[in-house]
Amino acid sequence: MHRPSLRLPGEPGSSPAPWIGANFWSRRGGPLMWRQFDADTVRAELAVLREHGLTFTRSFFYWPDFMPEPNRVDEQCCASYAEFLDLHAELGMYTIPTLIVGHMSGENWDPAWRGSRDLYGDVWMVAQQAWFGGEMARRFASHPAVAGWLVSNEMPIYGGENSPREQVASWAQLIIDAVRAHGGTQPISLGDGAWGLEITGRDNGFRLRDAARLCDFLGPHSYPMGNDPVRQHYTAAWICELAGSFGLPVVLEEFGLTSDFTSDAYGAHFYRQALHNSLLAGATGWGAWNNTDFDGLEHQDPYRHHPFELHFGLTDAQGAPKPQLAELRAFADVLAQVDFPRLRRTPAEAALVVSSFLDTEYPFTEPGTDGPELCRTLGQAYVATRLADLPVAIARESDGIGADAKLYLVPSTKQLLSPTWYTLADLAVDGATVYVSYFAGAHGNQRGPWHAAMNTLFGFEHQLVYGLVDTVEEDEFEFEFVRPFGALAEGSRLRFRTGGNEHSRAMLPVVPTDAEVVAVDGKGRPALLVRRVGSGSMVFCTYPIEHMAAYLPRVNPDPTRELYDALADFAGVARVVTVDEPRVAVDVLEHEDGTRWVWFVSQAAEELTVKPALRNGGRLAEDAVTLPPFGVLVVKLEG
């Protein structure tokens, strides 16, 4: 199946590609830097970024200062910003101005004249924002250092998260139109963080489907708080993968960490993992949060009440590089080595099916629960595909799941639309392998599998008792394979940990009819069944293994990785390179001249040596690859 290409957001003028940079506030003032603009300090701050391979910044029009009255901008702030742009040009750098900046780092700031006016629904207030966007474009769009535009900074936090979708989309369109009308031809996006329904399962009024109609790229913001190191390393990648399903280039617009929450070593590991994993997930630009620490601004909001915000920098407050900046330089060097703008993702023969219950609010359902649970479970399943060296395409039910995959993964999915279940069965008849794992749901509202003709499609009779679930009492459970399955020989065992809540910690008891039992649990009950249909197969797992793992701390690599590896072999999915070590993920990108580059990404805290298996021709310079702790190695595949 097609995976979103590594398309770039655009190359206005001589703007570099890809965008590798940082969100920028000067250590002289933070958000108040325009009141006390110090060109020498800013030049030094930009220079250290440029010396480490960074080519762009994201900059901010702090709205209370730039627009002190309706229909008027502050001329001194604008003059300082013009000098800021000149400094970028002097250093061969570019910037993306951000227009409506009323939220920043744990604080909302209003222009004094706003009052209680609604930012999206008050027509005068929207007109003022559009006027400001147009005025900034009129003044600065022709400057060679301007590479793009962002409408806002995390506007759902500033403008409210319960605004009507139609108002939000109209607000965005009016500001974008004003920027365009005043010469802002560079790529534009919203700066909202991509935190809406299609990514998180929670509606905040911002929809990526609307943004994809209005914008030139999409820009996720990612600051995961979790309980599993591997999921932490793949969260940004998963968000980029979901965002990429809307057909636009994806820029990881904000990511990073505060040194108050991590050691220097683990901060570097996180940066390395977020950068490379999001690249492999389709990201084409990266904006670290942020360029500098802010020691010395302890008495200024937001740092007064959010002190951890002082230390998100790539440099300390004296301008000395931190380990995170070294990781960005190493990443930039890799992208130069492989000629990144001319790389493309290899096709995926497996599809991860995303239920429309993630991005659509159906009547009499639990959208505040079902969507977030889907997001959590699908994210864990995505980690398993990565560790199984299994490239996957995102197949959104809302857009049609396609018909050109060999393997369809439907992990721990309670709800699909009825026609989709039959579509999956038809795909199996035509030769695909369809894998589904049971899930009763994580709440008591109509708890149970919402499957059309489940017994018929999967070849068994379920043994559910109405209103009850078959709780898995044990802290661990085991699958024993009673027949060979893919690379799993007869007698192989997979041992899983049990997770979930009172509703979801449950398996599905079944009696086979025309399905073959491939694996049984520790009590001899069917755990994995295969029903042959046409020239393909329907595969059913009676445990919600992906959902259970998603609830568990420090669970990865989870045995789902071995199951997905076996499913790929069973379905005949082509994979270029794989490794047996479950803590190392492999992926391949291809240059337009045919050169292939192999990424090895380790999730181990110690050095590992792995021996790659080349499945589709070619050779590597060495038979074995050694990776440092949480290391990444990029190797050319010869031939």
What are the residue ranges of CATH 3.40.50.880 in the chain?
Answer: 350-571
Q: Answer whether the bond into residue 512 is a cis peptide, omega within 30°.
A: no
Return the closest-CA partner of residue 237 out of 104, 391, 347. 391
DSSP secondary structure code for residue 397 in this structure: G
pLDDT of residue 128: 98
Q: Could you tell me the maximum CA-CA distance found in the chain, to the nearest angstrom?
A: 78
Record the tokens describing residue 124, joined without a space.
């005068």
pLDDT of residue 162: 83
**CB-based burial of residue 473 (10 Å sphere; 0-12 exposed, 13-18 middle, 19+ buried)?**
exposed
HEC per residue, 154-208:
CHHHHHCCCCCHHHHHHHHHHHHHHHHHCCCCCCEECCCECCCHHHHCCCCCCCH
| CB-facing half-sphere around the CA of 287: CA atoms within 13 A | 24
Cα separation, 359 vs 378, in Å, equals: 13
CB 85 within 8 A of CB 136: no
Record the tokens describing residue 284, joined without a space.
């084409």
pLDDT of residue 4: 79
Report the run of H or E that residue 252 belongs to, with start and end.
strand 250-256
Residue type, 195: W
CB 209 within 8 A of CB 168: no
The residue whose two tokens read 């800013």 is 42
pLDDT of residue 16: 57
Phi, psi values for residue 350, rounded to 5°: -125, 145
Record the tokens describing residue 139, joined without a space.
């003044």
Residue type, 41: T
**For the chain, how far is it from start to end, CA to CA, in angstroms?**
24
CATH of 19-340, one of 2.60.40.180, 3.50.50.60, 1.20.20.10, 3.20.20.80: 3.20.20.80
SS3 state at 213 = helix
pLDDT of residue 12: 42
Distance of CA 326 to the CA centre of its chain: 23
SS3 state at 636 = strand
Cα separation, 418 vs 451, in Å, equals: 7
Q: What is the mean pLDDT of each run of 10 residues along the chain (639 residues)?
A: 77 64 97 96 98 97 97 98 98 97 94 96 98 98 97 95 93 98 97 96 95 97 97 98 96 97 97 98 96 96 96 97 98 96 94 97 90 96 98 96 97 97 98 98 95 96 97 97 97 98 97 98 98 98 98 98 98 96 97 95 97 88 94 93
Please, which residues bridge with residue 178 across strands?
none
Please, which residues bridge with residue 288 across strands?
22, 255
Q: How many CB atoms lie within 10 A of CB 123?
A: 11
In DSSP notation, 514-526 reads: SPEEEEE-TTS-E
pLDDT of residue 5: 77
What are the residue ranges of CATH 2.60.40.1180 in the chain?
Answer: 577-637
* Reported CATH class of domain 577-637: mainly beta
Cα separation, 527 vs 377, in Å, equals: 19
Return the closest-CA partner of residue 202 out of 384, 422, 360, 38. 360
Cβ neighbours for 426, distance < 8 A, ≥ 6 positions apart: none
Domain 350-571 matching CATH 1.10.1040.10: the answer reads: no
CB 397 within 8 A of CB 371: no
What are the residue ranges of CATH 3.20.20.80 in the chain?
Answer: 19-340
pLDDT of residue 15: 52
